[in-house]
Amino acid sequence: MRARLIDGFTDEGALEAARRLRAGDLVALPTETVYGLGANALDRHAVARIFEAKARPSFDPLIVHVGNLEKVSEVAELPTNGVARELASAFWPGPLTLILRRKPIVPDLVTSGLDTVAVRIPGASLARRVLNEAGVPIAAPSANRFGSISPTTAQHVLDGLGNDIDAVLDGGPCAVGVESTIIDVSGQAPTVLRYGGLALETIEARVGSVKQGVRILERPMAPGQLARHYAPKTPLRLLEKGCTFPAQERALVVVAGRAPEQARGYGVTSELSPEGNLVEAATRLFAEMRRLDGLGMAGIDVIGCREEGLGRAILDRLRRAAA
Ligand code: TXA
Ligand code: MG
């Protein structure tokens, strides 16, 4: 294990993470959504190491993280009015990524040569502290190997990437637990590209209806659109309504509410939110998938949830995990 574990609950920890990032190290850091694998976005070598560590195809563009609104304009064009500005003012800092027109300073490796760049001001105060101390924009994908489950604790990061990165800043478990919602505001109509930690309903209540651009593709432009993604090693399936439950060496996950009586036969049962709270279920989703994956069961069955609020992001991740 070569990654150094840095205590994010101390001042020195945040400062060390910032210093290392500025110097070109690969440092995983906690945001409110998932842990990101950070590198100085303006340092090509550091960014190239992200792709190496994740074993990620380099055509997939990265999200650039900054600590405050003034810093956004260093990397992207944020219009002074209109939908983009409205979303930025209403939901940053927070679990929202905006696709904006890029500034030339952003390396092609970060944007995959697109004329747009993904930008986010994270809600977690520790992340913003590090970003503001570092003083440079930080490119950060989720800190997991390509295609696998995103990390929501420092230990998850170490389990997957401990030998390939320089440090992990431990700020405890992530509060939201699924990745940010991505809205493309670079074109004519605002378009959702990924369901995530900010509910679409909340966004639409603010700026009106948003075009649907979430795709599940076999050969996509971006791995977030891949049919199979966010996947455990244990085969996972989403149960249909009215299915019969097998009583075998399988695990059952219930996203919202309690496991039905007829599902007593499962070896292991996990209720993500017995009260049916989708925010709580999202927070626990990835950690539970990892835990169950470690049990070596024959399969994982999942009883899904309503396609609304954070349920959209949860079902999106589960469908890709099941593909
Ligand atoms: O919550 C999150 O968004 C986390 C934390 C660390 O911020 N980050 C994250 O990054 O999930 P990643 O790399 O795993 O997913 C970023 C997604 C990818 O699907 C990528 O294709 C898309 O953002 N993306 C990045 N730049 C883009 C662009 N210019 N246009 C369209 N999609 C873009
Ligand atoms: Mg990812």
Q: Could you give the 3-state DSSP secondary structure of residue 206? A: helix
- Atom 15 of ligand 1, nearest CA residue: 141
- Atom 22 of ligand 1, nearest CA residue: 61
Look at residue 223 and tell me whether its pLDDT is greater than 60: no
- Which residues have C-beta under 5 Å from ligand 2, the single-atom ion? 142
Measured in angstroms, how far is the CA atom of residue 169 from the centroid of ligand 1? Answer: 20
Rounded CA separation 222/275 (Å): 35
The sign of the dihedral angle between the CA atoms of 255, 301, 304, 194 is positive
Phi and psi dihedrals of 6, rounded to 5?
-105, 135
Name the token pair of 81. Answer: 């009015």
Look at residue 286 and tell me whether its pLDDT is greater than 80: yes
H/E element, 250: strand 250-254
Does any ligand 1 atom lie closer than 6 A to the CB of residue 67?
A: no
The answer to whether the CB of 127 falls within 8 A of the CB of 134 is: no
Measured in angstroms, how far is the CA atom of residue 196 from the centroid of ligand 2? Answer: 12
Range in 5-14, 51-60, 172-181 the model is least confident about: 51-60
Does any ligand 1 atom lie closer than 6 A to the CB of residue 124?
A: no
The sign of the dihedral angle between the CA atoms of 21, 25, 30, 31 is positive
Does any ligand 1 atom lie closer than 6 A to the CB of residue 97?
A: yes
| Closest ligand relative to 230 C-alpha | 2
Comparing CA positions, the residue from 247, 237, 233, 238 lying closest to residue 292 is 233
Between the alpha carbon of residue 101 and those of residues 111, 184, 186, 270, the distances in Å are 11, 10, 6, 43
Rounded CA separation 196/192 (Å): 10
Does any ligand 1 atom lie closer than 6 A to the CB of residue 316?
A: no
Of residues 2 and 224, the one with the higher pLDDT is 2
Predicted pLDDT at 57:
72
pLDDT in tens, 119-161: 999 999 999 999 999 999 999 999 999 889 999 999 999 999 9
Measured in angstroms, how far is the CA atom of residue 319 from the centroid of ligand 1? Answer: 18
Share of the chain above pLDDT 90, in %: 85
Rounded CA separation 105/85 (Å): 21
In this structure, the number of other CB atoms found within 10 A of the CB of residue 262 comes to 10
Predicted pLDDT at 30:
98
| Closest ligand relative to 100 C-alpha | 1
From the alpha carbon of 196, which atom of ligand 1 is closest?
1
pLDDT band at 215 (very low <50, low <70, confident <90, very high): confident
Predicted pLDDT at 177:
97
From the alpha carbon of 120, which atom of ligand 1 is closest?
7
| Closest ligand relative to 221 C-alpha | 1
Between the alpha carbon of residue 115 and those of residues 61, 99, 107, 124, the distances in Å are 11, 10, 11, 28
Residues facing 7 on adjacent strands: 170
Does any ligand 1 atom lie closer than 6 A to the CB of residue 314?
A: no
What does the chain come to in residues? Answer: 323
Look at residue 174 and tell me whether its pLDDT is greater than 90: yes
The answer to whether the CB of 14 falls within 8 A of the CB of 169 is: yes
Predicted pLDDT at 226:
65
Residues sharing a CB contact under 8 Å with residue 32, sequence separation 6 or more, in sequence order: 94, 95, 122, 123, 124, 127, 174, 175, 176, 197
Range in 58-62, 191-195, 205-209 the model is least confident about: 58-62
Rounded CA separation 94/169 (Å): 19
Predicted pLDDT at 263:
87
Predicted pLDDT at 217:
63
pLDDT in tens, 7-52: 999 999 999 999 999 999 999 999 999 999 999 999 999 999 999 9
Among 27, 31, 63, which is best to mutate for testing ligand 1, by the most ligand atoms less than 8 A from CB? 63
Predicted pLDDT at 243:
76
Q: Could you give the 3-state DSSP secondary structure of residue 262? A: helix
Predicted pLDDT at 222:
56
The answer to whether the CB of 220 falls within 8 A of the CB of 147 is: no
H/E element, 301: strand 299-303
Does any ligand 1 atom lie closer than 6 A to the CB of residue 171?
A: no
Predicted pLDDT at 147:
85
Look at residue 95 and tell me whether its pLDDT is greater than 70: yes
Measured in angstroms, how far is the CA atom of residue 141 from the centroid of ligand 1? Answer: 6
pTM: 0.92
- Atom 13 of ligand 1, nearest CA residue: 141
Look at residue 218 and tell me whether its pLDDT is greater than 80: no
